Structure 1
Amino acid sequence: MNSYKELIRKAFKAVVESPTYDQTLIEQYFSPEYRQYVDGEELDFDGFCNHMKAQKLAVKHAIINFQTIVEEGEIVFTNHSVEVLTNEDRHALIHVIAEFRVKHNRIIYCNELTRLVSGDERERDLGSRL
């Protein structure tokens, strides 16, 4: 991996933007020690996997657009948006500010805040849905 920024980009492309759930890809990019704190919720690795399964059941299409991505040591900060099309053909735009930490070339930690910019209120919890 050339940079941890690139690791984050590749993880989002492979895991979040993909329309299918793939445990092997999650394990490639995320440590079994992974912890995620999102909008007051805490997820461990298994919780994150369940979150990704729930997202795949709800979302037909997702595109990540990084406005800013900054790397310092093993920490990566992102300011990004997620364009979503749900399986019910509802559109949503979600703004995300996140801090990631990387260890042994896998993501071990994420602390993020999400904000529904536009779309149906039912999509407000997509960042933490189980």
Structure 2
Amino acid sequence: MTAAVTHTDITTALTDLLFTPGLELAEAIDRHFAPDYRQRTDGRWDDRAAFAEHIAHLRAVVAGGSVEVFEELSAGNLYADRHVVEVVKKDGSTVRMEVYLFAEFAPDGRFRRIEETTLLLAGAESDRDMGSAR
């Protein structure tokens, strides 16, 4: 009998990546993203190393925040959701982004691939690329 694989989800992943300051970046990424992970955000593809660079940048500007998932679906190795991320930046400003996400899980339950489109709901025009900023 084989054990059931537990899949990660976007709320847990983003909380570890952005809103858990004591958790090392490498450990947070290893928990939720497979070694061959790649991501396309608003048309731009990144490999795992570029994704880590992006998250390191966000950790330098984000003071806190939250994730609210409105719809979420998982079927086999596929995952989709619509969520809003609200971040409070270290300068005190707030950014709200709605994200439409489609993903594939690796056999171990971590994300192998994410493709997402973001929509700025609140924040400065310069925050529009927060989903891929470095």
Q: Same fold (TM over 0.5)?
A: yes
Greater gyration radius: 2
Task: Name 1:47's counterpart in structure 2.
Answer: 50
Residue by residue, what CA displacement relative to the aligned partner does 1:7-59 show, whole Å, maximum 9, x if unpaired? 11322221233246521121121111001000121110000100100101111
From 121, 125, 128, the equivalent of 1:117 is 121
For 1:24 and 1:59, locate their aligned partners in 2 and report how far apart those are by CA, in whole Å.
18
TM-score with structure 2 length normalisation?
0.88
TM-score with structure 1 length normalisation?
0.90
The answer as to 2:3 corresponding to 1:13 is no
Summarize the alignment of residues 26-45 of structure 1 with structure 2, pairs less than 5 Å apart: 26-45=29-48
The answer as to 2:72 corresponding to 1:69 is yes
The percentage of counterpart residues that share the same residue type is 23
Give the conservation status (yes or no) of the 8 Å contact 1:17–1:64.
no
After TM superposition, give the deviation of residue 2 of structure 1 in Å: 6.5
After TM superposition, give the deviation of residue 114 of structure 1 in Å: 0.4
- Structure 1 stretches of 4+ with a deviation exceeding 4 A read none
> Residue type of the partner of 2:64?
H
Summarize the alignment of residues 75-114 of structure 1 with structure 2, pairs less than 5 Å apart: 75-103=78-106, 104-114=108-118
C-alpha change, 1:54 and 1:31, in structure 2 (3 Å) is same
5+ long unaligned stretches in structure 2: none
Taking only aligned residues, the RMSD between alpha carbons, in angstroms, comes to 1.6
The answer as to 2:30 corresponding to 1:60 is no
